[in-house]
Amino acid sequence: MILAFSAYVGFCSNNSAEALALKTGLRWCLDHGFHRVTVESDSLLIIQMVKCMINPHWQMKDDIKQIQSMSSLGDFSFIHIIREGNTTTDLLANMAEHCKTTTFFTEAINLPSKVTSTLKNDVVGKPNIRIRVKKGNFIFDLG
């Protein structure tokens, strides 16, 4: 792990929150000399906007342009991953919303224990399984 953070962004749409988090992460990478980075996000919409595959909504246009500008300063690649691959990130986002603070972690040992366990599972390639009930049937989604 190089960096994990939970960033409180206030009241906004989920897509705006994804873009603001992406800007925060890219800024940190550039400020700390990381210019070759693969960004994984479960927000297909944001990935498509950053890659100029679709036009951003007018409310997000400036944020997306800033992301594109920052990413042009290095070798940044943007990859869409399924939601189950983003469990650690979701926990950090929930933490920020609950605590109303922004916290940066540069060592895994400083992460909250619930986040540490999902990160360990990710590192060893252990799948995250989401179980949900749909019309009386269980559906297992492997992540």
Residue range 33-48, pLDDT digits in tens = 999 999 888 889 999 9
Single pTM value for the model: 0.76
Whether pLDDT at 67 is above 60: yes
Summarize pLDDT for 120-139 with one digit per residue, the tens.
777 777 766 666 666 666 55
Please state whether beta strands 4-6 and 137-142 pair in parallel, antiparallel, or not at all (unpaired): unpaired
> In terms of Cα–Cα distance, which of 45, 119, 37 is closest to 78?
37
Check which CATH number belongs to the domain holding 22 and give it.
3.30.420.10
In angstroms, the CA 104 to CA 110 distance is 10
Identify the pLDDT of residue 107.
Answer: 82
Tell me which residue range forms the domain holding 20. Answer: 4-142
Identify the pLDDT of residue 85.
Answer: 67
The domain total for the chain is: 1
